[in-house]
A = this chain, B = another copy of it.
Amino acid sequence: MGKKNNVTFDDIAKYTNFSKTTISRYFNNPDSLTLENQEVIAKALVDLNYKENKVARILANGQTEFIGIIIPNLFLHYYSEMLDKILSTYEQFGYKFLVFIGNEKEETERRYIKELLAYKIEGLIVLSHTIPSEELAALGLPIVTIEREDRWVCSVNTDNYMGGCQAAGLLARHHCDILIHINSSSARNVPAYGRIQGFLDICKETKLPYELFLKEMGNNHESLKEHLTDILCALEQKYTDRKKGIFFSNDTHANIFLNLLVRKYGSLPEDYLIIGFDNSPVSREALIPISTIGQQIDKIAYEAVSLLIEQINGRKKRRPVLLKEPVHKVITPVLLKRETTERI
């Protein structure tokens, strides 16, 4: 769009002796032209080397086909795989994505949202945790969140409760003497909290003793290793010779813990069973492949975009359809049994 070196509908119109309107119709409603004339225009497009300009179209009809995304980071595999799957829905839906890395900074994310609104996004997908859903809802545009507090907006989440049940259930079926869950002290209103509840309910149902380790362990490898070393020490003392089934809130933690054990004992001791969460690459690539609860990230991504587009389409009708109540979709997790629970 530098100067005026662009071929426009006007140019094509003059070239073909049609009007601008007819050219426009060629793109948006070709059937309303005769086949003959369609070919004439098609040829003109080639002759003049026309390149479409969606910016002008947006200004005229208000449809950007933009969806905004606020994601905390792409460092964690969970997020990058989710973004991968979300972006890939372009093939089915045609919506383009404007992506911002939030880094969990509230004010920064507000700025990003403002920028997204300036570009007239038609909907917003939020994966970061900072901005309350009430504030998001007040933006007055279609919104879907993924795995975060979602009281006032539509969302797609893994069935974390079921995940917790699956993990604890597997450990229980293997006749562990004590079930342990290691997690961060997550707030009760985020979906991930369900993992803890599922774990607890199974423990109570099976009447097995259990212990929770809930604390913030930081995000870097060093800090994680330290905290997990402490926990290992505690477990060794407290539950000597008892069969310990440990459910970690993610595979990275499970892997670090596994490595601590292997470095101490040369292998995974018989009295330890380990299961992680996420089915991230590390769970497969670990020295001993780690059992895990897999989130169906492709499904989550697809459902999130679908749900968003439903809302977008609802508003486009003559009599706009607004949801009275936010819709919350839930995706079933998948139990993956690997060596850390199924010894050979």
Binding site for B on A (CB under 8 A): 1-2, 51-56, 58-59, 62-64, 73-75, 77, 80-81, 83-84, 87-88, 90, 96-101, 103, 115, 117-120, 221, 252, 255-256, 259, 262-263, 266-267, 281-282, 284-287, 315-316, 320
Contacts and interface: CB of A to CB of B under 8 A. Distances in A.
29 contacts: A1-B58, A2-B316, A2-B320, A51-B117, A52-B118, A53-B118, A54-B120, A55-B64, A74-B74, A74-B87, A75-B80, A75-B81, A77-B77, A77-B80, A80-B80, A80-B83, A87-B99, A90-B100, A96-B115, A96-B119, A97-B99, A98-B98, A252-B281, A252-B285, A255-B285, A256-B285, A263-B287, A281-B282, A282-B282
Contacts of A259: 285-287
A64 to B, nearest CB: 7
B64 A75 contact: no
Nearest to A115: B96
Given A54-B119, A87-B101, 8 more contacts: A1-B58, A2-B62, A55-B55, A55-B120, A59-B59, A88-B103, A99-B99, A282-B285
Contacts of A263: 287
A184 to B, nearest CB: 18
Contacts of A103: 88
Contact of A87 (B59, B77, B100): B100
B96 A96 contact: no
A286 B287 CA distance: 8
Contacts of A281: 221, 252, 282
A256 to B, nearest CB: 7
Nearest to A262: B287
Contacts of A54: 118-120
Contacts of A282: 281-282, 285
A81 to B, nearest CB: 6
Nearest to A69: B99
Contacts of A119: 54-55, 96
Contact of A120 (B1, B73, B118): B1
Contacts of A90: 100
A91 B115 CA distance: 12
Contacts of A62: 1-2
Nearest to A51: B117
Contact of A266 (B75, B84, B266): B266
Given A59-B59, A74-B74, A282-B285, A120 B53 contact: yes
Which of A99, A255, A256 is most buried by chain B, counting CB atoms within 10 A of its CB?
A99
A90 B68 CA distance: 15
Contacts of A315: 2
B75 A88 contact: no
A295 B262 CA distance: 30
